[in-house]
Structure 1
Amino acid sequence: MTTDAAGTAGTPVALVLRHDSAIGLGNLGPTLEAHGYEVRFLDAPNEDVTAIDPLGPDVVVVLGGDEGVYEAEEYPYLAHEIELLRARIAAEAPIFGVCLGAQLLAAALGADVYRGPRKEVGWLGVELTDAGEASPVRHTRDVRFVQWHGDTFDLPDGVELLAGSRQYANQAFRRGDWLLAVQFHPEVTHEIHEDWLAAWGDELPEYGLTVDGMRELQATCGPSAAAASAAILGEFVEGLATHRELPRAS
């Protein structure tokens, strides 16, 4: 991939940090494209994260993965991602994090990330805080999203908690209008859901779930989750339209 700051003919660039081909951008991609972004991908396990100008992309989207933030010795690119995120945070450069992306953002902001007591798996809702009701995450109200994670994090200093769940208190947070992180999975399409069932469906009985039951939930909950996801990310990127211009490397 190229690392130029500007897209084709000045089109804004959304750089997506991906950790697993099965954990893709999904239904977030059309939302970015509909708002005028040129979407570029960097596969963190296989490409050089340090080659990226941290302030080059107009927005960085950090996706999920099986890795734990605390496993940087085994996955050194995680440490490189955290450094990239810290540089963007220092410049108040826009970032959207999902699952592992949210955990990496928490670490970049100085919080601890660690294994939770038990995985949170299924089509589940989140509970909004007062701050969440006044944020793009308000579109989660009465909507169920895929949760499939076993790690969590302490809430970083200087952020607003937007949502939690019965099992994991920190489900979404933001800083200003330029950083938004969610622990749940807004990106999941039917195709991604099927990929996950094929890869990790054998885990489901431990949580009282079945592959067929998850498929039924996807059919029921998927359309409203996709609409809410588009609204969350769409409102976030619309808010960036008035964000100050990023400093560019000379």
Structure 2
Amino acid sequence: MKEAIALRHVHFEDVGILDSLLASHGYRLRYIDATIEQADTAAAEQADLLIVLGGPIGAYDEGLHPFLLRELDLIARRLQQQRPLLGICLGAQLIARALGAEVAPMGLKEIGYAPLDLSTEGRLSPLAALEGQPVLHWHGDQFAIPPGATCLASTPVCPHQAFSLGAHVLALQFHLEADPARINQWLVGHACELGQAGIDPRSLREQAKRFGTDLRSAAHAVMSNWLDKLEASQSALS
């Protein structure tokens, strides 16, 4: 089997509904808890797919959280080798930083389920399956689009919601992976943030219930399409 390694920062922010999809594409999934384990292991560098997950810290917070330097170095090495990378929220921001792009606070929080505005390139990408589909947003920072990368999606308050670089890098600011059936873990784990932002967790719970089934199908379509394109590209290089 192929190996997928996921760098995890908060225990409940895992690959969620993408777990079974990865298995169906022949990936054996293993987690590295980046806050307590060495993220720059040889296994993580050589894995067939590296997934860098989200977390409630800034991609520029290495002064407060020095382990981020190890992650940035690992990401940079994989980028140099053109090895497959999937970044989600914090993970996408770290990929952007490793590519030389700025990551900075937006000045507000974007939290809740809402659709994306796909770019022309986005409509021709695996993200096409998300046209009109509300996805979970949960962030207060945003990345600039790195040099050479392609912007795939935006929202009214965040112009850069996703980018790709070749066939081997996909970076998503939003949470395509979050399991709506486990939304209570997010609501409890991020209760302080929700309180500070004045967001009622009951509204998020209702949105997760309303959009969950369709989002699961759309998320699987996106990732299946991306993995198919990724595997075709990797085969062409070998």
1:127 aligns with 2:117: yes
Corresponding position of 1:17:
7
User: After the TM superposition, which of the residue ranges 194-203 and 178-187 deviates more from structure 2?
Assistant: 194-203
Local SS of the residue matching 1:65: coil
Distance, in Å, in 2 between the alignment partners of 1:245 and 1:46 is: 35
Task: Identify the range of structure 1 (195-204 vs 166-175) with the bigger mean alpha-carbon deviation.
Answer: 195-204
**For residues 140 and 236 of structure 2, what CA distance do their matches in structure 1 show?**
35
What residue ranges of structure 2 are gaps of 5+ in the alignment?
Answer: none
2:211 counterpart of 1:215 = no
Are the counterparts in 2 of residues 201 and 210 from structure 1 also a CA contact under 8 Å? no
* CA 114–241 in structure 1, closer or farther in 2 if over 3 Å, else same: same
CA contact (8 A) 1:54 1:87 kept: no
User: Which residue among 140, 149, 169 is the counterpart of 2:130?
Assistant: 140
1:196-207 map, 5 Å: 196-201=186-191, 203-204=193-194
Aligned counterpart in structure 2 of residue 28 of structure 1, from 18, 37, 50: 18
Q: Secondary structure at the match of 1:121?
A: strand
1:5 is aligned to none
1:240 paired residue number? 230
**In structure 2, what is the equivalent of residue 99 of structure 1?**
89
> Which of 43, 49, 60 is equivalent to 2:39?
49
After superposition, the Cα gap between the structure-2 partners of 1:146 and 1:244, relative to the gap in structure 1 and judged at 3 Å, is closer
Which one of 48, 72, 82 corresponds to residue 82 of structure 1?
A: 72
Contact 2:44–2:50 (8 Å) recurs in 1: no
Count of aligned pairs: 237
Output one character per residue of 1:121-147: Cα deviation in whole Å (capped at 9) or x when no partner: 111111000000010111111111111
- Choose from 193, 199, 223 the match for 2:183: 193
Judging changes above 3 Å, is the alpha-carbon distance between structure 1 residues 107 and 161 closer, same or farther for their aligned structure 2 residues?
same
TM-score (norm 2): 0.94
**Aligned-residue offset at 1:211:** 2.0
For 1:166, the equivalent position in structure 2 comes to 156
After superposition, the C-alpha distances for 1:28-78 in whole angstroms (9 at most, x for unaligned) are 111101111010110000101122345410011110001211110221121
Higher strand share: 2
- Identity across aligned pairs (percent)? 32
Normalising to structure 1: TM-score of the pair? Answer: 0.89
RMSD: 1.8
Distance in 1 of aligned mates of 2:41 and 2:195: 42
